[in-house]
Amino acid sequence: MRATATITLATATYSTHHDAVRDFDDTWRLRHEGRLDHITTAVLTRDADGLLRVERSKNTAKHLAWGGALLGGALFLVAPTAGVGMLTSVGLRGAGVIIAHFHDHLRPEDVARSGRLLMEGPYAVVVVTVVNHEVRETMSPLRRAIAHSSMATPWGELDDELGWDRVDHPLEAVLVPT
């Protein structure tokens, strides 16, 4: 991947399960438009304890060793219980690197805002896209959402870092949505 590739993390909250699933399906169709190098998306629903869990997910990077970490790492930052659940099922390969990359390159207040947004409704959709070429808009709006948010960071040196699959520096304080 080129260092100038862009990773976008988008979150949206919904009042109905039907709307969340429809936007999930519409977003997944973007992979056929040829504008994205990778896309991973998930529908989150609340469990009996009120915690967000991944109900369903799809990922074009699942065949890569670190592919599960692309969504799992993003979820770990904005919906920690869902992120831990995802990483438990897909494995930790690349998770530390992806989480550290988001931590180092995204503004903490944007991450916290996205996490708080996910707490607003009973259903949510989280989308992570990677684009390796010039594209202004990488995803269609999550148009059925009550509210949505997105943030982006360059791919940077992730190829090298994922090759090592380790983090050489401690993470500083991370804002966790409450």
The encoded tokens of residue 59 equal 């990922």
7: helix, coil or strand?
Answer: strand
Q: Does residue 152 lie in a domain region?
A: yes
The encoded tokens of residue 80 equal 């920690």
Q: Does residue 178 lie in a domain region?
A: no
**pLDDT of 14 strictly over 80:** yes
Number of domains observed in the structure of the chain: 1
Q: Does residue 1 lie in a domain region?
A: no
> What does the DSSP 8-state code read for residue 121?
S
pTM given for the model: 0.84
Classify residue 143 as exposed, middle or buried by CB count within 10 Å of its CB (0-12, 13-18, 19+). exposed
Q: Does residue 74 lie in a domain region?
A: yes
pLDDT digits (tens, 9 = 90+) for 40-76: 999 999 999 999 999 999 999 888 888 889 999 999 9
Question: Which domain, by its residues, includes 126?
Answer: 6-136+146-159
**pLDDT of 4 strictly over 80:** no
Q: Does residue 56 lie in a domain region?
A: yes
Query: Which residues, 6 or more positions from 18, have their beta carbon under 8 angstroms from its beta carbon?
Result: none
pLDDT digits (tens, 9 = 90+) for 92-132: 888 888 998 898 899 999 999 999 999 988 999 999 888 76
**pLDDT of 5 strictly over 70:** yes
pLDDT of amino acid 168: 46
Q: Does residue 166 lie in a domain region?
A: no
The encoded tokens of residue 34 equal 């040829």
Considering only CA atoms, give the Rg of the chain.
15
**What average pLDDT does the chain have?**
84
**13 dihedral zone (left: phi>0; alpha: psi -120 to 50; beta):** beta
Classify residue 132 as exposed, middle or buried by CB count within 10 Å of its CB (0-12, 13-18, 19+). middle
Higher local confidence (pLDDT), 55 or 91: 55
Inter-residue contact 143 to 23 (CB < 8 Å):
yes
Averaged pLDDT, 18-34:
89
Q: Does residue 167 lie in a domain region?
A: no
pLDDT of amino acid 58: 94
Q: Does residue 169 lie in a domain region?
A: no
